[in-house]
A and B are shown apart, each in its own frame.
Chain A
Amino acid sequence: MAEEKVKACINLHAVLRNLEDLCELDPMSRKIIQGKNVALKFSVVGISKSVITFTEGKCTAVKGDGPCSINLYFSSPRNFNLMIEGKKNPIPTKGFQHIGFLKNEFTKLADRLSYYLKPTAELLGDKEYARINTILTAYTAFFAIPEIANWDPLGQLNASRIADGAINVEVIDGPAISITAKGGRLETSKGKTANARAFMVFDSIDTASGILNGTLDSYSCIGEGRLSISGFVPMIDNLNKILAQVPGYLM
């Protein structure tokens, strides 16, 4: 099913991708991967692979094929999604000796990730939690955008309406992301791009957090100057329609 495919793409390339940032931002996660040396490949039939490497206390997630020490094979996007939902255990086709990493460290990391991605009002009251939540939520949303743009039928339509060029998204005192459109296909990367054509700036972590967690109305924030938009604005209008599809896939 197309929907399972998009969901799997998002789960892998937007949600799990966050392990990279989680291991940098969260001291507890950093501790979990201390001294580990593992390259985890996710091979899901029908979608791009991803290799998540843990080495020297750092994690990097790279979209595409590459060498690995453990290969996790999923015969369909649905089976991968079930694993993400905790309803199925991953089965390695390579690297049985690392099964302990999967059962222990990887499971703990996954728990840390959902701790940060599933906020409660109480948790958000903690400034450091809110900061990490916002960064990871923003990365999830903006890395999910190309997956929806490239594979979801309505996403493809809205993406086809985005003129070629880059859109910079920036949170003041927080992360920056750029989304590049070319011929209706989108790609997200961390950091700003020079010569972007459109710009979206959240004035603070608080504003970004409120908008991404649905407690602030983005239109009112534009009026109040908390979210500013400039440049070739139609690019952002169409991008936002794709962004609005993200929560539907994360449920």
Chain B
Amino acid sequence: MKTYSYPRSQEIFRRASKVIPSGIYGHLGPSQGCFIPVQAYPFFVERAKGAYFWDVDGNRFIDYMCAYGPNVLGYNDPDVDEAVSKQMAIGNCTTLPTTKMIELAELLVDTVTSADWAFFAKNGGDVTSFALMTARAATNRPKVILFHGGYHGVAPWAQKLGYPGITAADTENNIYVHWNNYAEIQAAVRDNPGQIACLMAPPYHHPIFEDNQLPAEGFWAKVRKLCTDNGIVLAIDDVRCGFRLDNRGSDYYYGFKADLICFCKALANGWNVSALCGTDSLKEAASAVMYTGSYWLSSAPFAAAIATVTKLRQIDGAKLMLAQGRKLTAGLREIGLVHGFDLRISGEPSMWFMRIANDDNMLLHQEWVAECVRRGAFFTNHHNLFINCALSDEDIKHTFAIAEDAFKTVKERHPEIF
């Protein structure tokens, strides 16, 4: 199978490094994006369509990162982009909002089971921070229970003491517990009476570099009850899972009801809008918090979100992505086994995590992922992957061929193991 090279990407990266901190900062960059080895990865996209992107060297990739989630219907979805064009012709960032904002709020209240209202911002981190502030405003309490290995964005409270730029004051109200450990949560609540405003959690545990974990049987029911009994706001960070498990919310998917729920990534198919939805009892607190931004009420992203959510409901996008994910992951695991690789799949199939478990240092996994990327299946080795609705059976078949060739290549390279 032909393998890719990236001379232009590398040349452009050097240009970027001169004027941009770290060249490409953040999760899309080679450092945080764990491009291992960097030579196996492209750095810049030239164009994208459906389930694919093409890099600046002209290589095509089946994209299993989906911009880390936003690409849910397929890049440049015609329905979404048409809605955006129409709105752009009327007005976007204006002195007063347009009624698109209400349409989107109504649509979310109608779609998301736990939502009585919706508040809009831009990024996932905007709404996780807002959820915490709303919970504090409502309860007049300072603390928050969070899970080890969780991610809620880059606001100082969501980072860790010891990280650059973070002070002890930023994180002093955080209490960390382990996923699925109900006894630990109970103890945290018992030890901090009248102090805990909020428990913030993803619907299931999706850390990087580790097998992802679904909620244990009865976990959410117990946590829900504990929060209710102790006046703690249960905030679900559905930024990553939202609309990939169930259009009605991932709390609905796991059979409980959140007080607050954060959406971002899949909400508008790549257009910049995030939302915090909540129950009536928290609407006043949400109004009371001072929270806004220059572009938060822009109308074009609202139009994109309306078109995206409407289409996801029409085609039952979550169900479709779960089904495609199941097909893909079952196939990858099977092909791996044939060649002696223990490829472990965890998490939900529409945003699965995978890891070759033959060694304990991820080296084989990183090699295999790199060989897949070089053949046109864009995976990362540290993070969960994503399915989008444009991914076809043909794409899955082609991915199997890539995976097989990559497994063979890695196996041949390691006669000491296989």
Binding site for B on A (CB under 8 A): 154-155, 157-158, 161, 165, 196-198, 217, 219-220, 222-225, 228-234, 241, 244
Q: Is the CB of B37 within 8 A of A225?
A: yes
* Number of B residues, CB within 8 Å of A: 31
Q: What sequence of 0s and 1s flags, for each residue 1-37 of chain B, a beta carbon within 8 Å of any chain A beta carbon?
A: 0000000001001100100011111000111001011
Cβ contacts under 8 Å, A197 to chain B: 360-361
> Do A217 and B363 form a contact, CB below 8 Å, given A154-B162, A228-B38, A230-B37?
no
Distance in angstroms from A153 CB to nearest chain B CB is 9
Cβ contacts under 8 Å, A219 to chain B: 21-23, 25, 29, 31
Distance in angstroms from A42 CB to nearest chain B CB is 30
Q: Which of B10, B31, B164, B361 touches A231 (beta carbons < 8 Å)?
A: B361
Q: Is the CB of B162 within 8 A of A241?
A: yes
Distance in angstroms from B28 CB to nearest chain A CB is 12
Q: Which of A224, A225, A230 touches B17 (beta carbons < 8 Å)?
A: A224
Q: Is the CB of B362 within 8 A of A223?
A: no
- Interface of chain A, helix or strand or loop or mixed? mixed
> Do A231 and B362 form a contact, CB below 8 Å, given A220-B22, A222-B31, A224-B17?
yes
Q: Is the CB of B17 within 8 A of A220?
A: yes
Cβ contacts under 8 Å, B43 to chain A: 223
C-alpha gap A158/B164 in the complex (Å): 11
Minimal Cβ-Cβ distance residue in B for A244: B164
Distance in angstroms from A148 CB to nearest chain B CB is 11
Cβ contacts under 8 Å, A229 to chain B: 31, 36
Cβ contacts under 8 Å, B161 to chain A: 154, 157
Q: Which of B14, B24, B160, B209 touches A233 (beta carbons < 8 Å)?
A: B209
Distance in angstroms from A192 CB to nearest chain B CB is 14
In this assembly, does B418 line the interface, its C-beta being within 8 Å of a C-beta of chain A?
Answer: no
Q: Is the CB of A232 within 8 A of B36?
A: no
Distance in angstroms from A2 CB to nearest chain B CB is 15
Q: Which of B30, B163, B164 touches A222 (beta carbons < 8 Å)?
A: B30
Distance in angstroms from A161 CB to nearest chain B CB is 8
* Beyond A219-B29, A222-B30, A230-B37, 11 extra complex contacts between A and B, CB < 8 Å: A161-B160, A165-B361, A197-B361, A198-B361, A217-B22, A222-B31, A223-B43, A224-B13, A228-B38, A232-B362, A241-B164
In this assembly, does B382 line the interface, its C-beta being within 8 Å of a C-beta of chain A?
Answer: yes
Cβ contacts under 8 Å, A155 to chain B: 162
Q: Which of B22-62 contact A (CB under 8 A)?
A: 22-25, 29-31, 34, 36-39, 43
C-alpha gap A158/B166 in the complex (Å): 13
In this assembly, does B366 line the interface, its C-beta being within 8 Å of a C-beta of chain A?
Answer: yes
C-alpha gap A41/B274 in the complex (Å): 63
Q: Which of B138-189 contact A (CB under 8 A)?
A: 160-164
Minimal Cβ-Cβ distance residue in B for A226: B38
C-alpha gap A158/B162 in the complex (Å): 6
Q: Which of B110-163 contact A (CB under 8 A)?
A: 160-163
> Do A230 and B366 form a contact, CB below 8 Å, given A220-B22, A222-B30, A225-B37?
yes
Q: Is the CB of A223 within 8 A of B17?
A: yes
Cβ contacts under 8 Å, B36 to chain A: 228-230, 233
> Do A233 and B34 form a contact, CB below 8 Å, given A157-B161, A196-B361, A197-B361?
yes
Q: Is the CB of B209 within 8 A of A232?
A: yes
The residue in A161, A197, A233 that gathers the most chain B C-beta atoms within 10 A of its C-beta is A233
C-alpha gap A232/B365 in the complex (Å): 11
